[in-house]
Amino acid sequence: MGRSSIARTAFRLRWAVWIAWGSIIAIYLAGRFGLDLGFLKVQAKSDPELSGSPRIVADATIVLVSIALWHLGRMLGAIAAGDLFSARVVGAFRSFALWLLIVAIIWIVAPIIMALINGPDAEHTFAFKLQLRDLLTIGITLIFFLVARLLERARAIDEEMREIV
């Protein structure tokens, strides 16, 4: 697989990320503000019994996911420009992983914080709910950090090879 095909793929993936990101934002805003598009109705609701967190957590999640996707777009843009193992690519990838990790941690911590802020309910119980989605997201982002370290090592090998030639 040549460098040009990798650059083309990264260019296409970058556009796919931008389109998906724009769609996520548009659908979320439509649901958040209750926009009715006639043939399409989008709803957003927060069920405290299921998630334990208000809409502010969903809003924060969208902002943080947007930051993560922006860093992913930066990485793909650098690859499309011909940088395969540059510090810019590795840094953007590491930032992408970091912001996804922050999202996963917020999904776990936000219900606890909201329960502490709101105080105990009538039964004086406190439930700590850990979803498989949270664990998978944390696990995947930790794998992303490993991949970032592999990219750094590949960059070092690439620089050594350039010195030899």
Read off the pLDDT of residues 61-90 as tens digits, 9 standing for 90 and up. Answer: 899 999 999 999 999 999 999 888 888 999
Contact between 120 and 90 (Cβ < 8 Å): no
From CA 52, how far away is CA 112, in angstroms rounded? Answer: 8
Whether 51 has a pLDDT exceeding 60, the answer reads no
Containing structural domain, residue 87: 3-164
* pLDDT for 1 beyond 50: no
For residue 9, CA distances in Å to 6, 16, 59 come to 5, 10, 31
Q: How many domains does the chain have?
A: 1
Q: What is the pLDDT of residues 113-126, one digit of tens each?
A: 877 777 665 555 65
Residue where the block lists tokens 């420009």: 81
Strand partners, 164: none
Highest mean pLDDT among 27-36, 40-49, 51-60, 70-79: 70-79
If we measure between CA atoms, which residue out of 113, 116, 162, 105 comes closest to residue 139? Answer: 105
113 contact partners, CB below 8 Å, separation of at least 6: none
pTM (2 decimals)?
Answer: 0.77
Instruction: Name the average pLDDT for the chain.
Output: 82
